[in-house]
Chain A
Amino acid sequence: MKNKKVTLDFNELRKGGIIKQRQKDYFILRTRIPGGYLKAEMLAKFMQIAKKYGKGYVHLSTRQCIEIAWVYIKDLSKLIKDLKRIGILKGACGPRSRNIVACPGSSVCRFGFLDTEKLAKKLDKKFFGLDVPKKFKIALTGCPNSCAKPQENDLGFMAQGEPEVDLNLCTGCTLCAKVCEQVCSRAGKPAAIIMGENKRPVYRKEFCFFEGDCVRVCPVNAWKIKRTGYAVFLGGKVGRFPMFGFKIAEFVKEEDVSRIIEKTIEVYKKQANKGERFGEAINRIGIEEVKKEIL
């Protein structure tokens, strides 16, 4: 074998989730797991790759992905071929849209209103790895508990449910008003459900957090979820200069999520300077202006 010099285009590698390590000639492989859902048989394949190319361990990233460090420079092209053959997806670094994170969602979680797994997988096909001014992170969360932290992503979707009560079924036990008061008081707000005349609950939508505690607690199922949708947060980030996303919409239907992402990326690319996160651009331009363009 000739000792041929390895030439690498670092930017091209970064695009495919290969990150230069602190140590000379070693790289970290960043994979991608849409929504953080992985079949057990795939997990075994990650283990094989970690043993073959790394040091036999993996690191779990905050974006629900597996990273494998200690890949030697001369093994990179072989690794990339192996990943393709096995079906392990590569992640993204640099100025690109990232792995979509998701909470467990309604398929298993008792709080979840919407199926975040299904949606994450669908959106990944369309919106992963796109070129953007800096980074673009999307999070999907199944209820206002916000486990997937939609408020700290460039674009976050938080499922919510609006309740309604059937007074014919209500027995006047007052539990709904009690749990509602517990929820609302934590935010320093008046309760959305108060007990009215003849021990009948009165719903005041303007104070509601749409978390569904009343529905879960009602002993006779008098409270039901009338409609579900997503609240949309825009411009959130952490990093060196953290900021919370702006809530720009509520009860967005699932079929409109794709369109909103598409539009948001388009506006981000148009409005932000190179190297600028969307939140920073929004602070410069004004949220109302940006909101108008997206919705």
Chain B
Amino acid sequence: MSENKAEQILDLKGVPCPMNFVKTKLRLEEMPLGGILEIILDDGEPIKNVSASIKEEGHKILKVEKINEHWKIIVKKQ
């Protein structure tokens, strides 16, 4: 299987809840099914809420990685 390479990056550093999720949702809506999005989120509430919400929307989270004070998550649009 090929590497899950992100086609788009959404940097949500400093974007509070729930705007971070709204922006994620809007970006995913523009993407084709199976499209892969990389999202950078703040620690704390953002990483917790946004990952739960992405799951509830039915998308697949392929990878979660802590990078210094932030989190990088790779999402596949379902």
Contact = CB atoms under 8 A, between A and B. Distances in A.
Interface of A: 110, 171, 173-175, 178-179, 182, 213, 216-217, 219-221
Contacts of A174: 64, 66
Nearest to B54: A219
A213 B48 contact: yes
Interface residues of B, number: 16
Contacts of B65: 173
A179 B45 CA distance: 8
A15 to B, nearest CB: 46
B48 A173 contact: no
B63 interface: yes
B51 A217 contact: yes
24 contacts: A110-B52, A173-B64, A173-B65, A174-B66, A175-B48, A178-B43, A178-B47, A178-B48, A178-B66, A179-B48, A182-B44, A182-B48, A213-B48, A216-B52, A216-B55, A217-B51, A217-B52, A219-B51, A219-B55, A219-B62, A219-B63, A219-B64, A220-B61, A221-B55
Nearest to A220: B61
A256 to B, nearest CB: 31
Contacts of A216: 52, 55
Contacts, number: 36
A174 B71 CA distance: 11
Contacts of A175: 47-48, 51, 64, 71
A216 B54 CA distance: 10
A171 B64 contact: yes
Contacts of B62: 219
Contacts of A178: 43, 47-48, 66
Contacts of A213: 48
B62 to A, nearest CB: 8
Most buried by B among A110, A171, A219: A219
Interface in B41-78: 43-44, 47-48, 51-52, 55-56, 61-66, 71, 73
Contacts of B48: 175, 178-179, 182, 213, 217
User: Which 3 A-B pairs rank lowest in CB-CB distance, beginning with the nearest?
Assistant: A219-B61, A173-B64, A216-B52
Contacts of A179: 48
Nearest to B43: A178
B56 A110 contact: yes
A230 to B, nearest CB: 24
Nearest to B65: A173
A218 B44 CA distance: 15
Given A219-B64, A219-B73, 6 more contacts: A173-B63, A174-B64, A178-B48, A216-B52, A217-B48, A220-B61
B63 A171 contact: yes
Contacts of A220: 61
B74 to A, nearest CB: 9
Nearest to B75: A219
A160 B56 CA distance: 20
A44 to B, nearest CB: 33
B40 to A, nearest CB: 15
Most buried by A among B52, B62, B71, B73: B52
Contacts of B55: 216, 219, 221
A220 B60 CA distance: 8
Nearest to A179: B48
B75 to A, nearest CB: 9
A190 B71 CA distance: 23
A81 B16 CA distance: 54
